[in-house]
Amino acid sequence: MKLRLATLALGAVLAAGPALAELVIPDLSYRTGPYAANGIPFSDGYQDYFTLLNERDGGIGGERIRLIECETGYNTEQGVECYESTKGEGTLVYEPLSTGITYQLIPKASADGIPVHTLGYGRTSAKNGAVFRWIFNYPANYWDGASVAIKHILDQEGGDLSDKTIALVYHNSAYGKEPIRTLEELAKKHGYSLTLLPVDHPGQEQKSQWLQIRRERPDYVIMWGWGVMNQVAIQEAVNIRYPMDHFIGIWWSGSENDVKPAGAAADGYKALTFHNLGDDYPLYDDMRKYVLDAGKVAGAGDNLGTALYNRGMYAAMLAAEAIKTAQDMAGTSQITRAQLRDGMENLEITEEKMAALGLPNFGPEFKVTCENHGGNGFAAVSQWDAAAGEFKLITDYMQSDQEVLAPLIEEDSMAYAKQNGIEPGCN
């Protein structure tokens, strides 16, 4: 280990000349187990973007990036092991891609002073940055997702849901339970009735849940699934001939490998997203030139342009932009964790910035502040086109119902602050 570090450091010295230091980015990935099908493309995208920055720009602000990958298997104990084994290397920001591991890391990382970015997952009330100083979940969170899904259904039904029933098929874990409170609040507001159908880890067994859906015929089914659970649920929905355009998944249930096993019958399945899809972006030319063709891809190189690859890339892009912001603010290229936290709190993503990066129209604009670690909560609905083999956006980005969500976030984060003796504040 020591020797390898020494050779790596030596290599960096020879390559980059005087820049001795480096930016250490851990990637807690999972390429094994029942969630690997979704974990691999995200991790590939996350790593490839940083590799691209290293190869094309020589890192960020002249500092090369060193990636450390650690396999978690989507298991919290291994996630803790990964966190402990990497944090000594001077890691800057964690992106664990697991709500369970995020819950482990929230207190630990807050105590150690290491920023954690949970892109569209994790603990929703971390949006309140006055309580969760080190935890960020921009640009959208689960409650935004639940609210946007209901908004889309409202649009479909002409604004009236009073006699409708909506079923939530969810992974029976912290992840899947997140939207329940929001959906219940929204049910009070819009008058629909909500059926909860939990699916236990890993989610291969869903016969009884879909039998119930077949019997009760809810008007819409919303899904909070991940890993193998997604494929099974979509196949089961096809089996009972549930209308696919009334079946809406959260953004973690909307990747190509979730719908492809069900074949042409999955056509019309909808999923939310908070960024754009496909590979029709100038950035992909660079990605192919500097990373794919140079043989430096993280995985097999077969995931470019898929929904989760794009999301991993998006996560890396947001991290890189936050590092740039932090470098500008601190006036030094070798930033510390606390400086990165300040950079993340002042991150602003605009259309000009995204266009300059080669990702025009890739996602909604947003701005992070200390009080708001969660962005503005914009998401859109995409639909699977089985013939073309791709997800297509069918709506514009919609903002979630802030008047319902804001009090819920306030309540949940304050309960956390009280339980843990945190004095909310931005200083």
Partner 1 sequence: MFYREAGDFKTSYVEDGQTFPIKLDRYAYYVALAVAFGVIPFLIDDYYANAVLVPFLIYAIAALGLNILTGYCGQVSLGTGGFMAVGAYSVFKLMTAFPDVNILVHVVLAGIITAVVGVLFGLPSLRIKGFYLAVATLAAQFFLVWLFNRVPWFYNYSASGQISVPERSVAGIIVTGPETTAWAKYLVCLVFLVVLAWLARNLTRGTIGRSWMAIRDMDIAAEIIGVNPLKAKLTAFAVSSFFIGIAGALFFAVYLGAAEVGEAFGISKSFLILFMVIIGGLGSIFGSMAGAAFLVLLPVMLKNVLVGSLGWATDLAAHLELMIVGGLIIVFLIAEPHGIAQLWRLAKEKLRLWPFPY
Which residues of this protein are in contact with partner 1, per CB under 8 A? 1, 4, 29, 31-32, 36, 69-71, 73, 75-77, 80-81, 84-85, 87-88, 99-100, 103-104, 106-108, 110-112, 123-125, 172-175, 177-178, 180-181, 198, 200-201, 412, 419-421
Nearer to partner 1, 201 or 367 (CB): 201
Least distance in Å: CB of 98 to partner 1? 10
Are the C-beta atoms of 322 and 343 separated by less than 8 Å? yes
Are the C-beta atoms of 164 and 157 separated by less than 8 Å? yes
Least distance in Å: CB of 244 to partner 1? 29
Sequence letter at residue 114: I
Output 407-414 pairs: Cβ under 8 A, ≥24 positions apart: 408/125, 408/143, 408/181, 408/182, 408/185, 409/124, 409/125, 409/127, 409/128, 409/143, 409/374, 410/128, 412/124, 412/125, 413/125, 413/126, 413/127, 413/128, 413/130, 413/131, 413/132, 414/131
| 108: three-class secondary structure by DSSP | helix
Nearer to partner 1, 87 or 246 (CB): 87
Least distance in Å: CB of 75 to partner 1? 8
Least distance in Å: CB of 198 to partner 1? 7
Q: How far apart are CA 198 and CA 203, in angstroms?
A: 10
Nearer to partner 1, 1 or 14 (CB): 1
Q: Per the omega criterion (within 30 degrees of 0), is the bond before 202 cis? A: yes
Nearer to partner 1, 124 or 306 (CB): 124
Least distance in Å: CB of 1 to partner 1? 5
Least distance in Å: CB of 402 to partner 1? 18
Nearer to partner 1, 67 or 265 (CB): 67
Are the C-beta atoms of 224 and 170 separated by less than 8 Å? yes
Are the C-beta atoms of 50 and 65 separated by less than 8 Å? yes
Nearer to partner 1, 30 or 251 (CB): 30
For residue 32, report the phi and psi dihedrals to the nearest 5 degrees.
Answer: -130, 165
Least distance in Å: CB of 113 to partner 1? 11
Nearer to partner 1, 285 or 411 (CB): 411
